Amino acid sequence: MTERNLAEEFNVETEVEAQLLDQLIVYCGVDEAGAGPLCGDVVAAAVILDPNNPIEALNDSKKLSEKKREALFPEIKEKAISYCIARATVEEIDTINILHARMLAMTRAVRGLKVQPEYALIDGNRLPELDMPGAAIIKGDALVAAISAASILAKVQRDHEMKALDEQYPGYGLAKHKGYPTKAHIEALEKLGPCEIYRKTYGPVKRLLAKGT
């Protein structure tokens, strides 16, 4: 009986993931979405994929069309061994800053997994607080399938939340720009003024609040 080479079988592109597969170590991929927008929570996800139930077409969520992300969202949830979507709130972002809020959201996502991994692969260049060893991988959302899956869950979840907020707070165009500081968003913000979902420490919002808008 031939021993499976999982790293080759799954086209693994990073040495650390190849070693984890080779040693049969259970690991999760972690990513977040929503650092740049002027409003709403920052959302993170952690995913443990099933090597025996692969998901085709996983890639960095920013490189996939919205339609493709939406199609993969339920498939990832269905096929993953475990997943968790977590967040840090607007209040937390304003209190501890966005960098620490991103780390906090990722920590919560990993700790929320029903199956606890032995290792965590994080997108980016720094690790959040973890209860197990981990590695930060720059552009990991394009290199590691589990991080790609986490990227998709985080982005689609946040997009859904922004669409819901658009109904609660009409006029800002949140469903379209998802809170990012587009020209149309800034113009709407200047007209309507920041409401409770806005991040008060972010430049455009801070300036308007200082002017008493």
Residue 127 lies in a domain: yes
Residue 197 lies in a domain: no
What's the CA gap between 15 and 36, in Å, rounded?
30
Q: Give the phi and the psi of residue 85 in degrees, each rounded to 5.
A: -110, 125
Residue 47 lies in a domain: yes
Calculate the CA 6 to chain-centre distance. 26
| Arithmetic mean of pLDDT, 182-187 | 97
Quote the tokens at residue 69. 């992300």
Quote the tokens at residue 93. 């972002």
Quote the tokens at residue 189. 């913000």
What's the CA gap between 76 and 212, in Å, rounded?
45
Instruction: Say which residue the tokens 């490189």 belong to.
Output: 63
Sheet containing 42-48: order of strands: 82-88, 42-48, 27-33, 119-123, 134-137
Residue 121 lies in a domain: yes
Residue numbers of the domain that contains 16: 6-169
Higher pLDDT, 25 or 5: 25
Count of domains forming the chain: 1
Residue 93 lies in a domain: yes
Neighbouring CB atoms inside 10 A of 213's CB total: 13
Name the band, by pLDDT with cuts 50, 70 and 90, for residue 10: low
Residue 126 lies in a domain: yes
pLDDT in tens, 52-110: 898 888 876 678 888 999 999 999 999 999 999 999 999 999 999 999 999 999 999 99
pLDDT in tens, 113-154: 999 999 999 999 999 999 999 999 999 998 999 999 999 999
Residue 183 lies in a domain: no
Residue 181 lies in a domain: no
CATH of the domain at 153: 3.30.420.10
Is the per-residue pLDDT at 51 higher than 90?
A: no
Instruction: Say if residue 209 is exposed, middle or buried (CB neighbours under 10 Å; 0-12, 13-18, 19+).
Output: middle
Is the per-residue pLDDT at 5 higher than 80?
A: no
Q: What pLDDT sits at residue 206?
A: 96
Quote the tokens at residue 179. 């809170």
- pTM of the entire structure? 0.92
| Arithmetic mean of pLDDT, 163-180 | 97
Tell me the pLDDT of the chain averaged across its residues. Answer: 92
Q: Give the phi and the psi of residue 15 in degrees, each rounded to 5.
A: -65, -40
